Amino acid sequence: MKIAFIHQNMPGQFKHLAPHMAAAGHDVAFITAKPKVEIPGVRKLLYKRHRLANASTHQYLRLFENSVIYGQAVARTMLELRREGWQPDIVVAHPGWGESLFVKDIFPNVPLINFCEYYYGQDDIEEKKLDTIFRARARNAHLLLSLESCTRGLSPTEWQKSRHPQPFHSKISVIFDGIDTSIVKPDPTASLSLQRAGRLTGEDEIITYIVRNLEPHRGFPTLMRALPKILKERPHARVIIVGGDEISYGSAPEEGGTWREKMLKEVQPELDRVHFLGKIPYESCLKLLQISSVHVHLTLPFVLSWSCFEAMAAGCLVVASATPPVLEVVRDGENGLLVPMEPEALADKVIEALAARDDLEALRTAARETILSRYALDLCLPQQVALIEETG
């Protein structure tokens, strides 16, 4: 089978699926804008946008214009494939940047599976102003066109599927990306050395928080405002925060700068016990989870982060926000602890969890069991392969 994957940030959500299909003997091509990543056995084709949206374009339409530009760039790459005589038997794409907009126009008879990660709604809006409501509706334009044109959809969770327009639910299958539980697992011998703290192990009292970028969508301000009380009540605790200063979702602070700078200025925590690591290698993130006393995962109603699933797979004691995407995975008092997205409540719950951590081992065990039984790679990958075989 000839399979074309499309994702601007190769490999993205296809990091297990693409190499697996290549290793199984399929002819796999990956269309991407990321030049430095290689996958053994996978042919990489780079595309390049010819421009960005014009500043004069209506603000509601700039995202759509950029999406069309992404779609054009991918279409040109697929035309090159067609000219050389290579036609895929199936295409698997992430439509989030508009890359799959014109796939069916280049290869009209080739099945297309779209990764249906998120569809925006009015509850994504923090301020109910008409301007932001209109912009939120308009930002779905390329997603709706991509959803209409695809043969099948693939969504990681039931909640993410539920965000999409109901008339299209019948074409969307719910299959999680998959956590490699042979790698992400508890390790009582794990340790991590920090410049200001020395060597840390599971014997230390460590609060962990891991995101791609530090921003409100992932509850970063809530965490920071909870720290003074936590640090006061738990004098031996250290807080280790992983994440960059860019914006993945939402917007930067109105006054400029980064959310880390803004919250440090507002909260002024004890920096000798709060460690900002920025973005660190995956292996270090794994060790951090393995030595964590309490792992904090916060999110607005939005895509549930891989770090939550990986923390559970590593046997962490998870304190998470009681928000819809989390509720599908974390059950309060059974495989983790849930808390409102509010600083005082978060502080109290973390303090309580640290004080009782020796009595909460059952939650850690249940957290890993949740991943093993529902979200492990050895369960999810065969389902993804079956979807491709059924559709192709």
Predicted pLDDT at 126: 55
Instruction: Choose between 133 and 200: higher pLDDT.
Output: 200
Distance of alpha carbon 310 from alpha carbon 185, whole angstroms: 8
Domains 2-178+378-391 and 191-375 share a fold: yes
Q: Phi and psi at residue 238, in whole multiples of 5°?
A: -120, 140
Look up residue 223 and give its DSSP letter: H
- Estimate the crossing angle of helix 62-83 against helix 141-149, to 10 degrees: 30
Distance CA 176, CA 156 (A): 4
| CA atoms of 54 and 358, how far apart (whole Å) | 57
Distances (CA, A) of 116 to 19, 25, 93, 150, 161: 21, 27, 9, 10, 7
191-375, what's its fold?
A: Rossmann fold (3.40.50)
Question: What pLDDT, in 10s, does the model give residues 23-66?
Answer: 999 999 999 999 999 999 999 999 999 999 999 999 999 999 99
Q: What is the CATH number of domain 2-178+378-391?
A: 3.40.50.2000
Domain ranges (residues) in the chain: 2-178+378-391, 191-375
Interatomic CA distance for residues 294 and 209, integer angstroms: 9
Q: How confident is the model at residue 340 (pLDDT cuts 50, 70, 90)?
A: very high
216-261 per-position pLDDT tens digit: 999 999 999 999 999 999 999 999 999 999 998 878 998 999 999 9
Confidence of residue 152 (pLDDT cuts 50, 70, 90): very high
Amino acid at 54: N
Task: Please give the average per-residue pLDDT across 316-331, as a whole number.
Answer: 97
> Among candidates 316, 315, 313, which has minimal Cα distance to 296?
316
Strand 172-174 vs strand 191-194: parallel, antiparallel, or unpaired? unpaired
pLDDT of 122 over the 90 cut: no
Amino acid 243 reads G
Structure confidence at residue 113 (pLDDT): 98
DSSP H helical segments within the chain, as ranges? 17-23, 62-83, 103-106, 130-138, 141-149, 158-162, 220-233, 259-267, 282-290, 306-313, 324-327, 343-355, 361-370, 377-391
CA angle 329, 332, 337 (to 5 degrees): 95
CA of 151: how far to CAs of 28, 108, 110, 146, in Å? 19, 11, 9, 10
pLDDT digits (tens, 9 = 90+) for 97-113: 999 999 999 999 999 99
**Residue entry with tokens 């709706």:** 144
pLDDT score, position 124: 59
Q: What is the pLDDT of residue 237?
A: 97
What one-character-per-residue DSSP string does 239-301 give?
EEEEEESS-SSS---TTSS-HHHHHHHHH---TTTEEEEES--HHHHHHHHHT-SEEEE--SS
pLDDT band at 264 (very low <50, low <70, confident <90, very high): very high
pLDDT digit string (tens) for 342-356? 999 999 999 999 999
User: Above 70 in pLDDT, residue 161?
Assistant: yes
List the end-to-end C-alpha distance of the chain, in Å, as a whole number: 8
Query: What's phi and psi for 173, nearest 5 deg?
Result: -95, 145
Q: Would you call the peptide bond into 11 cis, given omega within 30 degrees of 0 as the criterion?
A: yes
Diameter of the chain by CA atoms?
A: 67
Q: Helix, strand or coil for residue 192? A: strand
Which residues are 278's β-sheet partners?
Answer: 242
Whether 18 has a pLDDT exceeding 70, the answer reads yes
